[in-house]
Amino acid sequence: MTDQTDGPPSAAAGYDFSGAAVLITGGTSGVGLATAVAFAQAGCRRLIVLGRNEERGKRAVDHVQKSVSGAEIEFMSVDANDPVAAEDAAAESQRRLGAIDVLVNSTVAPYSPTLLRNMPTEQIARVLTEQALGPLLMSRAVLPYMSQQRSGSIINVASDAAKVPTPGETCIGAAMAAIVTFSRTLALEAKRDGVRVNVITPSLIVDTGSYDRAMNEDFSKKIFDRIISQAHLGLTEPADLANLALFLASPMSRLITGQVVSVNGGISVA
């Protein structure tokens, strides 16, 4: 049995993405960056990561290239919450890669758990938009290309907040639920064109900005300390999500669509 303290094993050795074209939104840090490394390890040589910040994008490219000898990866700066920018990014990715076989949306809003009564009213729309809109727009933007080629896998990263009510996560939970319902409905619409859509829902993920924000404030730390005590299999790491993304993008999951899979170390089974 694998010792949980050793961290997640790399699943890349069991996959061959040498012929795939992969696009990752939010690929400059956390889960998105770990997923970029995983695809590169699995042989992907047509790989683009999207993000807002040029400097972070350059660091992400350097990180992947240092992690995987011979990795070929590009960065494109885009605000995925902008409808025109999302469509332009998809079109340019299609031009550069020649296809878009896999889209992974792993965007994260800079949100700290806050009771609704303490949240300024004007922030509510921003939380919903910054978290939910990017995956919806990017999925819409790549869909025509995947439909035309009669194949594709869209993987949206949401959160267990979509399924498990937690104090302080009223707005972020609503945003995550939007991603989940959108993805499941799109799976029904897109299956006739050979396109699969699935969702990964983690709880806390160590080594991410979201984890740091949650654990640096007294209110959220008290809540999440109790939640962490239920993670008897260990806390989720970015690579755990990346491993599942590889599976959902691969032919091994060819009949799986419209599913919402939790990766949370046993915190919940919802």
Say yes or no to pLDDT of 138 above 70.
Answer: yes
Say yes or no to pLDDT of 5 above 60.
Answer: no
pLDDT value for 228: 66
pLDDT value for 14: 78
Residue 118 is assigned to a structural domain of this protein: yes
Which range (24-38, 141-155, 195-209, 249-263) has the least confidence?
195-209
Residue 267 is assigned to a structural domain of this protein: no
Confidence band (pLDDT; 50, 70, 90) for 167? confident
Mean pLDDT score of the chain? 89
pLDDT value for 4: 47
Given a contact cutoff of 8 angstroms between Cβ atoms, the answer to whether 243 and 14 are in contact is: no
Residue indicated by tokens 């669509």? 257
pTM: 0.89
The domain that holds 142 is classified in CATH as: 3.40.50.720
- DSSP labels for 96-114? HHS---EEEE---------
Residue 260 is assigned to a structural domain of this protein: no
| Rg, C-alpha atoms of the chain | 18
Residue 269 is assigned to a structural domain of this protein: no
Say yes or no to pLDDT of 238 above 60.
Answer: yes
Give 63-73 pLDDT, tens digit per residue. Answer: 999 999 999 99
Residue 161 is assigned to a structural domain of this protein: yes
pLDDT value for 149: 97
Identify how many contiguous H helices and E strands the chain contains and give both numbers. 9, 7
Say yes or no to pLDDT of 154 above 90.
Answer: yes
DSSP 3-state assignment of 24?
Answer: strand
Domain that holds residue 101: 15-253
Confidence band (pLDDT; 50, 70, 90) for 3? very low
Give 72-120 pLDDT, tens digit per residue. Answer: 999 999 999 999 999 999 999 999 999 999 999 999 877 778 889 999 9
Pick the more confident residue, 256 or 232. Answer: 256
* Amino acid of residue 31: V
Which range (110-124, 132-146, 217-231, 255-269) has the least confidence?
217-231
Residue 262 is assigned to a structural domain of this protein: no
Which range (206-215, 221-230, 247-256) has the least confidence?
206-215
**Ramachandran quadrant class, 97 (left: phi over 0; alpha: psi -120 to 50; beta: rest):** alpha
Confidence band (pLDDT; 50, 70, 90) for 270? low
Given a contact cutoff of 8 angstroms between Cβ atoms, the answer to whether 85 and 107 are in contact is: no
pLDDT value for 236: 78
Tally of structural domains, the chain: 1
pLDDT value for 227: 67
Residue 51 is assigned to a structural domain of this protein: yes
Say yes or no to pLDDT of 246 above 90.
Answer: yes
